[in-house]
Chains A and B, each alone.
Chain A
Amino acid sequence: MNIEYLEMDNFRNFYGAGNKICFSSGDKSVTVIHGKNGSGKSTILNAFTWALYGALSKSIKNKHKIINKRSIAEANIGEEISCSISIKFSHEESTYLIKKTQLSAKLDDKLNYNLHAEPTLNMRWHSGDGDWKLAKHPEDVINRILPKDLFNYFFFDGERMTEMVAESKKQKLEIRNAAKKLLGLEILDRSIKHLGKAAKEFEKELGDSGDVELTELIRKKTDKNIDIDTKRLRNVEITNENAKCSNFIKEIDITLMNNQKTTKLQRQRDKLKDDKNKIFTPRLDAVNKKLKIELSHSGYKIFSLGLLNDCSDRVESMREAGELPKGIKRQFVEDLINQQKCICGEDLIQGSKRFDNVSEWKLKAGLEDVEERALSIGASVKLIRSNIEQTSDRLRTLKVEKTKIKNELSIIETKLDDISEELGGVTDIELSSLESRRRQYIIDGDTLTAEFNSNSGVIQHLEGEINEIDRKIQGVQTTQNRLALSQDRLQATKDSIEVLSEMLLNYQESFRSSLQNTMQKIFNDITDLAYLPFISDDFDIGLKEMTTGVSQDVGESTGQGQVLSITFILGIIEQARIHVKNQEIIAEMDTQYPLVMDSPFGQLDPDNKAGVAKYLAKIADQTILLVSLSQWKDVENSIEQKIGGHYYLTYHNPAAKKELIKNINNQDVVLETKSDKYEWASIQEMH
């Protein structure tokens, strides 16, 4: 970045337009602006920082009170007044012209004015071809050329000098920020921040953990499997007990068959049992099966009967209301017209009354599609009704057959009961007791069979529930796989943050160490003090005794403190050169910087002032020094060879007692003159 000129229009001390300063560059890269206290040296520094970064010195409390007082006084109430700063500079191959403007209106006679809008910044630029273009985001362009975080070092306010070495959090933060900017570490910072946000997203996904749900499902499944096993085991027992009952019954039946007193009855019973088990029960099963099939295939039709009747009624009522065509078909009428013959045999000649009458029938005839559909609905209803009747007939037949078989079975059961009663009543107690035991076995067997069937039903139900649980487990396991992936991604994100954080620390440490070395070299160059600057791990800046290595308390306003501060500034600027040249991550900045310094020599003793001046001339590509005459006296010899231009500020002071004029190189320079009510400044170039 190389600054060509600065032009101030009604900005603070500088009244009116045309307050322009052109800056030297190249071999004679130093421009010196001389001025008494209050003449506007700090205003020039503020003009740069306000135009480029919207920043003003701390001493300016109201950031909008920047319009020259004399220009306000001369304006009428309500009249628009403006102040502006124009800067022309070049950077790499391009030339930029920026103009920052504040528009206000005078409110009263007491120099009050309001702000029309926030100040605006316009930038035009060209890339060497003279074709000026308007920049859309001038602040971004400036920030890329010379980052805002670093401007304090390149537009240096001597009054801030003592703050540089003050042990404050702000100072440490400033150094860290400088390191980040110079090394391009802002990208690492932003990466860490954004990866942190990504990590939170993955953590959010993990928040809905499926562990608890899965455990609960597995527990339920286990419980149900235990229930099934218990029921199955019981059914095995039932089957065995039932078999025993059947065996006992068989044994009793054999005994009864072999006994003369009971053999007849037993034979009858066997016959009835055979009939029951081999004929009627299979027949009943077969009828039940048929009923089941019939009901599952066609049973629904019976339930649709109401719907069909409703549909049929609606079609009929529509037909009666004339909403559906009936009578003459449209096609029939069209055929008559095409054949030019009426149904009565008369000719149909176009234009005749008869033709018109027949044509009207066509309009009365319904739409063919609707008619077809109505007919189709009617046919469908008829067909379904016929099916329902057939189904009903078949079901009725099967029901009759079932009733018949059940009656037969009932008769057999009655006969069996009668036989059992008869056998129980035989005089032979042993036989009678056998029959009574047989009855008990049958009751027991029936009870066991009922329990067996109940258990089978429960098992079937539990198996259904287990299938449902399995389905849910599969869903949760899919979720768990997804969660595992999120966990993996979270870990990778955290690892990336850890590595980047370590890289950031390493870069900062490398910067700290490198800055410390540079500061020590500069300190040696500009002073004979027997100390060396150091920067602690915590970014505290201090001095150590060269021989003992013991750290030395440095008072903020002492000469040592000021040398240390200026060393720090120069060190930062030197680092900017080194790191931008060796930039690995980002190479945004040019290696050329301007250095604008307001009262940089402060309370330095003459030797140190000369040392600093010498170093300034060496380090900066372009230096703009704002100095008082007394400060300049001590340094001019050290920097003379690099000076490309001198400007003097004339202080128009209402309190001035007399005009202060100096003859410098055979040119009279007015340094102070008496003005009217308002103080202001003007610029005089020294030739």
Chain B
Amino acid sequence: MKCFDSAPKRVQKIIKKVLELEKQKLDQGSPRVNAEIIDIIKHEVQGGPY
């Protein structure tokens, strides 16, 4: 799996949300994003079928 378009939906969603978060944080000049990234992954992967 190398291409964004062929990645599973959940991976695409994670990437989009993480990029959006990093963009916001870059604007704010704040690097503290770890907890928010973990929350994004937990939200997108909740154990159900995908």
A residues whose Cβ falls under 8 Å from a Cβ of B? 137, 140, 186-188, 190-191, 194-195, 197-198, 201-202, 481, 484-485, 488-489, 492-493, 495-496, 498-500, 502-503, 585-586
User: CB distance A496 to B2 under 8 Å?
Assistant: no
- Indicate which residue in A187, A499, A502 contacts B22 across the interface (CB closer than 8 Å): A187
Give chain B interface residues in 1-50, CB to chain A under 8 Å. Answer: 1-4, 7-8, 10-11, 14-15, 18-19, 22-23, 25-26, 29, 31, 33-34, 37-38, 41-42, 44-47
Q: Collect the chain B residues with CB atoms within 8 Å of residue A188's CB.
A: 19
* Cβ-Cβ contact count across A and B, 8 Å cutoff: 79
Q: B33 — which chain A residues lie within 8 A by C-beta?
A: 190, 194
Q: Are A495 and B7 closer than 8 Å at their CB atoms? A: yes
Q: Evaluate whether A489 and B41 lie within 8 angstroms (CB atoms) in the complex, with A194-B34, A496-B14, A499-B15 already known.
A: yes
The 8 Å CB contact of A198, one of B2, B29, B38, B47, is B38
Give 10 pairs: A residue, B residue, CB < 8 Å, sorted on A.
A187-B23, A190-B31, A191-B22, A194-B18, A484-B47, A488-B45, A492-B11, A493-B14, A496-B41, A499-B4
Q: Contact between B1 and A586 (Cβ–Cβ < 8 Å)?
A: no
Q: Is the CB of B45 within 8 A of A489?
A: yes
**CB-based contact A140/B47 at 8 Å:** no
State in angstroms the CA–CA spacing of A230 and B44 once bound together.
51
Report B28 CB to chain A, min CB distance, Å.
9
CA gap between A190 and B34 in the complex, in Å: 11
Q: Is B45 a contact partner of A197 (Cβ separation < 8 A)?
A: no
Knowing A195-B18, A488-B47, the reply to whether A586 touches B26 (Cβ < 8 A) is yes
B contacts, CB < 8 Å to A: 1-4, 7-8, 10-11, 14-15, 18-19, 22-23, 25-26, 29, 31, 33-34, 37-38, 41-42, 44-47
Whole-angstrom CA separation of A190 from B31 in the bound complex? 9
- Which residues of the other chain, A, contact B18 by a CB distance below 8 angstroms? 191, 194-195, 496
- Measured CA separation A586–B29 after assembly (Å): 14
Neighbouring B residues of A187 by C-beta, 8 Å:
19, 22-23, 26
| 11 further interface pairs, Cβ-Cβ under 8 Å (given A187-B22, A496-B11) | A190-B31, A481-B47, A492-B8, A492-B44, A495-B8, A495-B11, A498-B1, A499-B2, A499-B3, A499-B4, A502-B3
How far apart sit A383 and B25, CA to CA, in the bound complex (Å)?
A: 74
Establish whether residues B19 and A585, one from each chain, have CB atoms under 8 Å apart when the complex forms.
yes
A197 to B31 alpha-carbon distance, docked (Å): 13
Least Cβ–Cβ distance between B42 and chain A, in angstroms: 7
Q: How far is the CA of A278 from the CA of B43 in the complex (A)?
A: 73
What is the bound-complex CA distance between A389 and B19, given in angstroms? 81
Contact indicator A496/B15 (Cβ below 8 Å): yes
Minimum C-beta distance from A140 to chain B (A) = 5
Contact between chains at A190 and B26 (CB < 8 Å): yes
Query: Among B15, B22, B44, which residue has its beta carbon within 8 angstroms of that of A190?
Result: B22
CA distance A201 to B40 in the complex (A): 14
What are the residues of chain A within 8 A of B1 when measuring CB–CB? 495, 498-499
Which of A195, A488, A499 touches B37 (beta carbons < 8 Å)? A195
Measured between alpha carbons, how far is A104 from B36 in the docked complex, in Å? 45
A198 near B26: Cβ-Cβ < 8 Å:
no
The CA-CA distance from A502 to B37 in the complex, in Å, is 20
A399 → B minimal CB distance (Å)? 63
CA A657 to CA B41, docked complex, whole Å: 74
Chain A residue with Cβ nearest B36? A194
Min C-beta distance of B46 to chain A, whole Å:
8
A644 to B19, CA, bound (A): 43
Task: Kindly state the separation between the CA atoms of A197 and B41 in the bound complex, as whole angstroms.
Answer: 12
* Most chain A CB atoms below 10 A, which of B2, B18, B23: B18
Q: Do B26 and A499 touch across chains, with their CB atoms under 8 A apart?
A: no
A489 CA to B10 CA, complexed, in Å: 10
B1 to chain A, nearest CB (A): 6
Bound: A191/B25 CA distance, A: 11
Provide the residues of chain A in CB contact with B26, threshold 8 Å: 186-187, 190, 586
